[in-house]
Structure 1
Amino acid sequence: MTTDSEADESDGTEIERLDKEYVFGTWSFQSEVSPTEVTHAEGVRFTDADGNEFIDLSSQLMCSNLGHSADAVADAVADQMRDAAYVAPGYTTEARAKLGEKLAEITPGDLSKTFFSTSGTEAVEAAIKIARFYTGNHKIVSRYRSYHGATYGSISVTGDPRRLAAEPGIPGTIKAPDPYAYGSTLDPMESVEYIDEMLELEGDTVAAVLVEPIVGSNGILVPPPEYLPRLKEIAHDHGALLIVDEVMSGFGRTGEWFGADVFGVEPDIMTMAKGLTGAYQPLGATVVTDDIAVHFEDEMFCHGHTYSGHPAAVAAGLAAVETYQEENLIERASEVGEYLGERVDALAERHPSVGEARGVGLFRGIELTKREDERVPFGERADKISKGSTVVDEVSATAYDHGTYVANMINTLILAPPLTITEAEIDQAVEALDAALEVSDDAMEE
């Protein structure tokens, strides 16, 4: 006979039980939260409290670009915290100044001046305010299949269904269609011309068009090469800025420094976080062009945070960028990303439940389908805010049982491993995916 206390003890580790009782799980019904205690991480792998080891095929939340053994970044943080753990934003540190210089060097075009925050959502909040201050307009056009953050402005410009519980959001946000042939009545280039008509009908009152160059958590959607250049042209024709959200697609993820580089586009404002430090510290950044920077010489930059340019965070950022450069990780991501793409395409050929495999570099998506002859998703948008699990969740869980962690969002498996992953580690992860996709194959409709 099992006692209540014995049952309780078998229900996870003490840390897992404490966490479930005292800490909110994000984006979830709390009754369904079941945290896993991670005790160690090294290279592209992490280990749970039971000693099980997993390949981190999604870089945790698509942010551990450097993997889990970037000693130069960890050392930079420790050294800075011993020298000066915190100074107010009105002061500066060597790392903050040099990171600002580095970002001006590696970002496209004449992006030159940075506001530092602590997350991607705060970087987007700053971008919204800067665009409004600079143009004098207040409307922001974003897209339905998008995620830009959780704070009030950022969730308002987010398109995915997690925004619904927070509505009504900030005024002046307008949603546009996506470059997504799989799930839209418009083809990608028709969708961008639709945005042109939207701005025309809004009477040139739009401050900015805000997009992810490659959509991340809403499906790894890669637009045609001419899409982003045309979108910038449309925005400028109507007196609006182009804001490119690189929080997920930046820092080598695509095989280029930034997603915008894939398309040869120089945005007016760029937001970033995640790979900026490789997730070793929470740090976001909003970078603007020379013209926008000059505007605030005699106009108040009416924005700030207590932790803007936090010394430990910018030290991590500077060390991370230097690591990308010194270890040639951007170029490496392009090369290894080609290999990952080949292996994913081969999976798609073998498994009828793969409706589409897409992506660039080490930023890949596998979208599933119930029917081989037409694309019918297993996961719907409403599932993201509903109880229960889907077939897509079961596929991810099966991969996990085979030693590979892969995130999924709605109907897409997201493959975004650390830039340090080897071909042998990719092979091992693909074996796990091969087994996992049998689950969706078996669940297909006749």
Structure 2
Amino acid sequence: MSKQGSAPADGLNPTERTDREHVFGTWSFQSEVSPTEVTHAEGVRFTDGDGDEFIDFSSQLMCSNLGHSAERVEEAIAEQVADAAYVAPGYTTEPRAKLGEKLAEITPGDLSKTFFSTSGTEAVEAAIKIARFYTGNRKIVSRYRSYHGATYGSISVTGDPRRLAAEPGIPGAIKAPDPYAYGSTLDPMESLEYVDEMLHLEGDTVAAVLVEPIVGSNGILVPPDEYLPRLKEIAHDHGALLIVDEVMSGFGRTGEWFGADVFGVEPDIMTMAKGLTGAYQPLGATVVSDEIAAHFEDEMFCHGHTYSGHPAAVAAGVAAIETYEEEGLIEHASQVGEYLGERIDELAERHPSVGEARGVGLFRGIELTKRPGERVPFGERADKVSKGSTVVDEVAATAYEHGTYVANMINTLIVAPPLPISRAEIDEAIEAVDAGLEVADDAME
């Protein structure tokens, strides 16, 4: 995270200045990087180097689902490191075996066997390779408003403009339209028939269709209820698998264990990370169906990582799932998520600059507009790879000045607080966002 609204090299403390000099800021022009030191985090709040405290209304990068005080997870990591800090993937540990078993229990359908990695992008890389190994096909259909990671395969199947600098990417990455009525000439269900035609015209040579069940950093796009079930049918009709990327939407974010559960869909492959440990350890997972798992009994599973199933990371994963279960956080997210939606709807009624409010559970988006009643965005896709700040950045900066951190991507504020958040804390954060939206109201045409 960078200092909201400050000049790049002004007001940096020694830690921030050293970091800026020696560490790359991600997805940034380095001349614009101005890091903020975080010295403490607890509950749903974090403290910066100046001693100022902020509500974490976006769970950092939509990953601190458990908040910043998950004692069970902290203890599990410490205990595992004391027992064995690392073992090679050819060995196993009790936490690794247990986490694989737990994922088979909580994921939908017959997803049953897991490959562990260290991030969401690696989980997607594994999913791409598994789909290709299993089907014998090479093409992957994904969507334009998507983000699947930064490594070469996952950035190739990513739709948002951050992929452009890495192109040409891996062969066989094909983009489809999104279920997004605001920004497409196709209605969400019409876009499905377009995908159907794409797969037909590709001659049934597609290995998989890869989607976020609810699009995350490209706008919190929620498809119609019938969209994902129909997409699975279309994929299977053409011999392709359905891969569901739950890196951001998983682990209670939607008020269900996974985004696919919202739509009653059982994917062939599921990827996850972020909430898998609540961000207490870097851990990704790629979970496959019984049928796909059986394929590799006599076919080589030609993939691996040094840190696959890292003991401390999988121990954190087990403890995180136990925390979700024992503290009732999935149910809590559903309940307070409804309240969060009501409060955001109030903001939309009060601020003409809110073009649309959408989302599920504690996974909400506030999209802005320059003109009331029309979709004229302040932020464009090109802004994501351009210098300078936008009105949407200024809205987030103003909320930050009022004690709340909220992420923004292109033209949308992403509201995704830690699952333990209370109604009182939601109210406090909404007041800060309310102040930020005044900036957007004043900037309207």
* TM-score, length basis structure 1: 0.98
**Match status 1:426 vs 2:404:** no
Alpha-carbon shift at residue 12 of structure 1 (Å) = 1.0
Aligned residue identity for 2:180: Y
- Retained in 2: the 8 A contact 1:192–1:227? yes
- Retained in 1: the 8 A contact 2:9–2:34? no
2-structure distance, mates of 1:373, 1:90: 59
1:16-55 correspondence to structure 2 within 5 Å: 16-55=16-55
1:331-350 correspondence to structure 2 within 5 Å: 331-350=331-350
Counterpart for residue 302 of structure 1: 302
Alpha-carbon shift at residue 414 of structure 1 (Å) = 0.1
2-structure distance, mates of 1:373, 1:410: 19
Q: After the TM superposition, which parts of structure 1 deviate over 3 Å for at least 4 consecutive aligned residues? A: 7-10
Aligned residue identity for 1:138: R
Alpha-carbon shift at residue 9 of structure 1 (Å) = 9.9
Aligned residue identity for 2:439: V
1:55-134 correspondence to structure 2 within 5 Å: 55-134=55-134
Counterpart for residue 155 of structure 1: 155
Aligned residue identity for 1:282: P
Alpha-carbon shift at residue 193 of structure 1 (Å) = 0.8
SS in 2 for 1:302: coil
1-structure distance, mates of 2:136, 2:84: 39
Aligned residue identity for 2:379: G
2-structure distance, mates of 1:212, 1:56: 23
2-structure distance, mates of 1:400, 1:418: 17
- Retained in 2: the 8 A contact 1:348–1:356? yes
The structure-2 alpha-carbon separation of the partners of 1:190 and 1:315, relative to structure 1 and needing over 3 Å to count, comes to same
- Retained in 2: the 8 A contact 1:11–1:17? no
Aligned residue identity for 1:92: T
Point out where structure 2 has 5 or more consecutive residues left out of the alignment: 1-6
Counterpart for residue 186 of structure 1: 186
Aligned residue identity for 1:360: V
The structure-2 alpha-carbon separation of the partners of 1:8 and 1:88, relative to structure 1 and needing over 3 Å to count, comes to closer
**Match status 1:237 vs 2:228:** no
Identity of aligned residues (%): 88
Give CA-to-partner distance per residue, 1:206-234, whole Å, 9 cap, x none. 00000000000000000000000000000
The structure-2 alpha-carbon separation of the partners of 1:103 and 1:8, relative to structure 1 and needing over 3 Å to count, comes to closer
Counterpart for residue 326 of structure 1: 326
1:203-214 correspondence to structure 2 within 5 Å: 203-214=203-214
Alpha-carbon shift at residue 11 of structure 1 (Å) = 2.8
Alpha-carbon shift at residue 170 of structure 1 (Å) = 0.1
SS in 2 for 1:175: strand
Aligned residue identity for 2:386: S
Counterpart for residue 264 of structure 1: 264
* TM-score, length basis structure 2: 0.98
SS in 2 for 1:28: coil
SS in 2 for 1:278: coil
- Retained in 1: the 8 A contact 2:115–2:287? yes
2-structure distance, mates of 1:342, 1:373: 20
Aligned residue identity for 2:350: R
2-structure distance, mates of 1:388, 1:224: 35
Aligned residue identity for 1:289: S
Aligned length: 439
Give CA-to-partner distance per residue, 1:183-226, whole Å, 9 cap, x none. 10000000011000000000000000000000000000000000
1-structure distance, mates of 2:328, 2:233: 33
1-structure distance, mates of 2:25, 2:307: 24
2-structure distance, mates of 1:263, 1:175: 23
Aligned residue identity for 2:92: T
SS in 2 for 1:304: coil
2-structure distance, mates of 1:404, 1:327: 25
Alpha-carbon shift at residue 10 of structure 1 (Å) = 6.3
1-structure distance, mates of 2:13, 2:138: 50
Aligned residue identity for 1:381: R
1:378-393 correspondence to structure 2 within 5 Å: 378-393=378-393
2-structure distance, mates of 1:444, 1:345: 19
1-structure distance, mates of 2:388, 2:11: 20
- Retained in 2: the 8 A contact 1:220–1:358? yes
SS in 2 for 1:100: helix
Alpha-carbon shift at residue 8 of structure 1 (Å) = 12
Counterpart for residue 275 of structure 2: 275
Counterpart for residue 4 of structure 1: none
Point out where structure 1 has 5 or more consecutive residues left out of the alignment: 1-6
- Retained in 2: the 8 A contact 1:146–1:212? yes
2-structure distance, mates of 1:428, 1:193: 44
Counterpart for residue 353 of structure 1: 353
Alpha-carbon shift at residue 373 of structure 1 (Å) = 2.7
2-structure distance, mates of 1:288, 1:149: 19
SS in 1 for 2:115: strand
